[in-house]
């Protein structure tokens, strides 16, 4: 029925007056504008156009406590407010749909199953910052998502939600669906902007921040798909309602992509502050560990975030609690692995990825990730030498904090966390020339 | 000319939409890649003529983005994700299974030029692992049975 057979908790969301993003994602008709409108779609957009000043929209989103859902968690309304009011240049909005943080597969569900929700959020954001040309940057491999967004965009134009003098407001807004070329780095906002400009997707030095000088050197806001899809709900139900969801500082709900060794992998929308343990073990979510094996570790926010051990998972899934617990909320991609997983084997996968995706601009990241990969491959293959673990640590230290964009940090933070949490396993590799546990996963 | 009239028309249409012509490089490469199956210097030249920017700027962008293959491949490009979530659910054994089934190794093409097998990094299908992408399409929650069926279907379609 759906393009992707991914599991969601849409049924639970439909019963809730607090959860909202996934309410209609199991309805195959939701992709059509008529059905979307029937479900209350584009009401917020019309309300904004008819009744609200741009500054009021920014204020409302600021008051809602919405924070970026792509990884950094920066307050969305505050970001919008950085766009200079008096700039004579055009302003741009870019929806970041370059979903490529390993473990993350949430924005894809929204694009494939509720594309108008994203367009509506983008339109409201555009109005708030005075933008008349908005973009959605979709990773190149998501050809199907791009098709869904193109189709929805066409319908939005036909129904007068985009174009000239929208709903008689005098406000004009056009949209472009832009697809990338397979580069993780383009999820970083300045690389994304370079990529739209037709350049290699390399990051830019900040400041100037995109809100001041972004796309074509004009004020630009880059927001994640899920952040923007949350905006119409804030307009419809009010900032106070949204702020009452989640925790005091991490407001609202968030989609978590649960993958790896769980019985029921899927995308689950829960309020921020939800228990990580419950997400993994509850029968309505992860349903426990595959084969009822023992849990070994969890990556809570995508492959760039530090790992957690089983004694650390009694933790709330919100921005503050995870930092306190030694990790990060990131993009909300929870990757679970059980006792038969060798930690060096896991890191070997991850460092290969970061070496491959490093754009090459900053020496510490370009050279460091390559060195790390070589060294870690050697250790994993059982040819590690005394001092290699310390060498890995040293290289990580030389990357951390020494690069223009966060990719370098993202590559080393998980490694450093495993050196802390499972150092014995790394050392075992050096001393015995093999894994402490046998890692051999068969697909059936 | 390698690009068809239809492809050229699509690229020109993009030129009308974007604020600056250079932004059309990636969309144009996508159009070319979908039509031809790879991009190379001849295609960079054609694109640069259509959007009126130096060829080197097209090449500069094209060589950065790994999705645009730079040489011809088999009719069906099988891209198996081997990043962490897929690996935890047996991506390595999936790759081995396909290698054995097609009699080729990673990076190779079958003799009949039908299938090319490559490995790729995370494709955003982590909660439906293991997965692969063949040309534009995703195939998720793979099992041996499903892989057999998919390859058989493609072979009979070819």
Q: How does pLDDT run across A372-388, given as a tens digit for each residue?
A: 999 999 999 999 999 99
- Say what the pLDDT of residue A421 is: 97
Interatomic CA distance for residues B94 and A408, integer angstroms: 30
- Say what the pLDDT of residue A289 is: 98
B76-157 is classed CATH 3.40.30.10: yes
DSSP B31: H
Nearest-by-Cβ selection for B83 from A257, A265, A349: A349
A103, HSE (Cβ side, Cα atoms, 13 Å): 30
- A438: confidence class by pLDDT, cuts 50, 70, 90: confident
Mean pLDDT of chain A: 97
Interatomic CA distance for residues B65 and B58, integer angstroms: 11
- Kindly tell me if the per-residue pLDDT of A79 is higher than 90: yes
- Say what the pLDDT of residue A109 is: 97
Distance from CA of A434 to the nearest CA of B (A): 18
A 357-386 residues with CB < 8 A to B = 357, 359
- Say what the pLDDT of residue A219 is: 98
Q: How does pLDDT run across A156-166, given as a tens digit for each residue?
A: 999 999 999 99
Nearest to A217 by CA among A105, A48, A360, A91: A91
- Kindly tell me if the per-residue pLDDT of A1 is higher than 80: no
Interatomic CA distance for residues A304 and A175, integer angstroms: 31
- Kindly tell me if the per-residue pLDDT of A168 is higher than 90: yes
Cβ distance B144 to A258 less than 8 Å, yes or no, reads no
- A188: confidence class by pLDDT, cuts 50, 70, 90: very high
Q: Which CATH number fits domain B5-64: 1.25.40, 3.30.70, 2.60.40, 1.10.10?
A: 1.10.10
Q: How does pLDDT run across A300-339, given as a tens digit for each residue?
A: 999 999 999 999 999 999 999 999 999 999 999 999 999 9
Q: How does pLDDT run across A410-427, given as a tens digit for each residue?
A: 999 999 999 999 999 999
- Say what the pLDDT of residue A443 is: 87
Angle between helix A43-51 and helix A225-237 axes, rounded to 10 deg: 70
Q: How does pLDDT run across A31-58, given as a tens digit for each residue?
A: 999 999 999 999 999 999 999 999 999 9
Q: How does pLDDT run across A246-256, given as a tens digit for each residue?
A: 999 999 999 99
Which chain A residues touch B29 with a CB distance below 8 Å? Answer: 181
Which chain A residues touch B122 with a CB distance below 8 Å? Answer: 100-103, 184, 303, 353
Q: Report the pLDDT averaged over residues A7-13.
A: 97
Per-residue tokens: A231: 């905006």
Domain boundaries, chain B: 5-64, 76-157
Percent of chain B with pLDDT over 70: 100
Nearest to A364 by CA among A375, A352, A376, A372: A372
Tell whether A84 is within 8 A of chain B (Cβ).
no
- Kindly tell me if the per-residue pLDDT of A146 is higher than 80: yes
- A444: confidence class by pLDDT, cuts 50, 70, 90: confident
Q: Report the pLDDT averaged over residues B58-87.
A: 97
- B100: confidence class by pLDDT, cuts 50, 70, 90: very high
- Say what the pLDDT of residue A238 is: 98
CB A394 within 8 A of CB A415: no
Interatomic CA distance for residues A434 and A440, integer angstroms: 13
Interatomic CA distance for residues A122 and A112, integer angstroms: 16
Interatomic CA distance for residues B116 and B111, integer angstroms: 10
CB A318 within 8 A of CB A273: yes
Q: Report the pLDDT averaged over residues B125-143.
A: 97
A 134-193 residues with CB < 8 A to B = 139-144, 174, 176, 178-184
Cβ distance B23 to A100 less than 8 Å, yes or no, reads no
**In three state form, how does the secondary structure of chain A look?**
CCCCCCCECHHHHHHCCCCCCCCCCCCHHHHCHHHHHHCCCCHHHHHHHHHCCHHHHHHHHHHHCCECCCCCCCEHHHHHHCCCCCCCCCCEEEEEECCCCCCCCCHHHHHHHCHHHHHHHHHHHHHHHCCCEEEEEECCCCHHHHHHHHHHHHHHHHCCCCECCHHHCCCCEEEEEEECCCCHHHHCHHHHHHHHCCCCCCCCCCCCCCCCCCHHHCCEEEEEHHHHHHHHHHHHHCHHHHHCCECCCCECEEEEEEEECECCCEEEEEECCEEHHHHHHCCCCCCCEHHHCCEEEEECCCCCCCCECHHHCCCEECHHHHHHCCCCCCCCEEEEEECCCCHHHHHHHHHHHHHHHCCCCCHHHHHHHHHHHHHHHHHHCCCCCCCHHHHHHHHHHHHCCCCCCCHHHHHHHHHHHHHHHCHHHHHHHHHHCCCCCCCCCCCC
Interatomic CA distance for residues A256 and A374, integer angstroms: 33
In chain B, how long is the greatest CA-to-CA distance? 50
Interatomic CA distance for residues A226 and B91, integer angstroms: 28
Percent of chain A with pLDDT over 90: 97
Phi, psi (deg, nearest 5) at residue A39: -90, 20
CB A75 within 8 A of CB A276: no
- Say what the pLDDT of residue A323 is: 97
Q: Report the pLDDT averaged over residues A154-181.
A: 98
For A85, A285, A372, A402, the CA distances from A366, given in Å and listed in that order, are 39, 39, 10, 11
- Say what the pLDDT of residue A439 is: 85
Mean pLDDT of chain B: 97
Nearest-by-Cβ selection for B128 from A5, A350, A359: A5
Interatomic CA distance for residues A348 and B84, integer angstroms: 9
For A57, A118, A127, A220, the CA distances from A92, given in Å and listed in that order, are 17, 16, 10, 5
Phi, psi (deg, nearest 5) at residue A53: -85, 150
């Amino acid at each position: 029925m759906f393009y992707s057979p991914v599991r969601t908790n849409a049924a639970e969301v439909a019963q809730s007056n607090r959860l909202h993003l996934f309410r209609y994602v199991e309805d195959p008709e939701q992709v059509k504008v008529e059905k979307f409108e029937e479900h209350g779609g584009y009401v917020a957009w019309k309300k904004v156009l008819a009744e609200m000043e741009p500054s009021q929209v920014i204020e409302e989103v600021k008051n809602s406590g919405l924070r970026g859902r792509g990884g950094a968690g920066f307050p969305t309304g505050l970001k919008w407010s950085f766009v200079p009011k008096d700039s004579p240049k055009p302003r741009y909005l870019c929806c970041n749909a370059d979903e490529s943080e390993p473990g993350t597969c949430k924005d894809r569900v929204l694009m494939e199953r509720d594309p108008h929700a994203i367009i509506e959020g983008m339109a409201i954001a555009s109005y708030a910052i005075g933008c008349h040309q908005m973009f959605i940057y979709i990773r190149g491999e998501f050809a199907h998502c791009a098709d869904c967004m193109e189709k929805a965009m066409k319908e939005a134009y036909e129904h007068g939600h985009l174009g000239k003098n929208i709903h008689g407001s005098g406000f004009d807004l056009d949209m472009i669906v832009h697809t990338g070329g397979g580069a993780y780095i383009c999820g970083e906002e300045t690389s994304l902007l370079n990529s739209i400009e037709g350049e290699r997707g390399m990051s830019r030095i900040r400041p100037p921040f995109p809100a001041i000088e972004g796309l074509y050197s004009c004020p630009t806001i880059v927001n994640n798909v899920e952040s923007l899809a949350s905006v119409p709900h804030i307009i419809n139900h009010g900032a106070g309602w949204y702020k009452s969801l989640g925790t005091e500082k991490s407001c609202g709900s968030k989609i978590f992509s649960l993958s790896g060794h769980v019985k029921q992998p899927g995308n689950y929308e829960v309020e921020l502050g939800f228990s990580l343990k419950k997400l993994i073990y509850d029968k309505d979510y992860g349903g426990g560990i595959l084969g009822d094996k023992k849990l070994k570790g969890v990556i809570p926010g995508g492959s760039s975030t530090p790992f957690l051990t089983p004694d650390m998972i009694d933790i709330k899934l919100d921005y503050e609690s995870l930092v306190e617990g030694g990790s990060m909320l990131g993009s909300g991609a929870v990757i679970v692995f059980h006792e038969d997983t060798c930690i060096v084997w896991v890191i070997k996968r991850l460092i290969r990825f970061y070496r491959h995706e490093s754009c090459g601009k900053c020496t510490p990241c370009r050279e460091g990730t390559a060195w790390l990969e070589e060294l870690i491959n050697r250790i994993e293959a059982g040819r590690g030498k005394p001092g290699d673990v310390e060498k890995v640590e040293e290289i990580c230290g030389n990357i951390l904090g020494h690069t223009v964009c966060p990719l370098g940090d993202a590559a080393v933070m998980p490694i450093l966390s495993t050196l802390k949490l499972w150092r014995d396993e790394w050392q075992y590799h050096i001393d015995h020339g093999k894994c402490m546990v046998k890692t051999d996963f068969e697909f059936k | 000319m390698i690009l068809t009239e239809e492809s050229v028309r699509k690229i020109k249409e993009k030129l009308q939409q974007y604020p600056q012509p250079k932004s059309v490089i990636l969309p144009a490469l996508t159009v070319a890649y979908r039509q031809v199956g790879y991009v190379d210097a001849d295609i960079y030249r054609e694109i640069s003529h259509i959007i009126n920017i130096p060829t080197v700027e097209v090449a500069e962008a094209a060589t950065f983005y790994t999705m645009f293959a730079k040489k011809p491949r088999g009719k069906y490009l099988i891209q198996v994700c081997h990043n962490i979530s897929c690996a935890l659910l047996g991506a390595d054994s999936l790759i081995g299974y396909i290698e054995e089934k097609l009699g080729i190794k990673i990076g190779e093409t079958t003799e009949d030029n039908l299938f090319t097998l490559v490995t790729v990094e995370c494709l955003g299908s982590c909660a439906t692992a293991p997965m692969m992408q063949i040309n534009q399409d995703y195939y998720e929650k793979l099992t041996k049975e499903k892989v057999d069926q998919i390859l058989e279907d493609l072979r009979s379609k070819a």
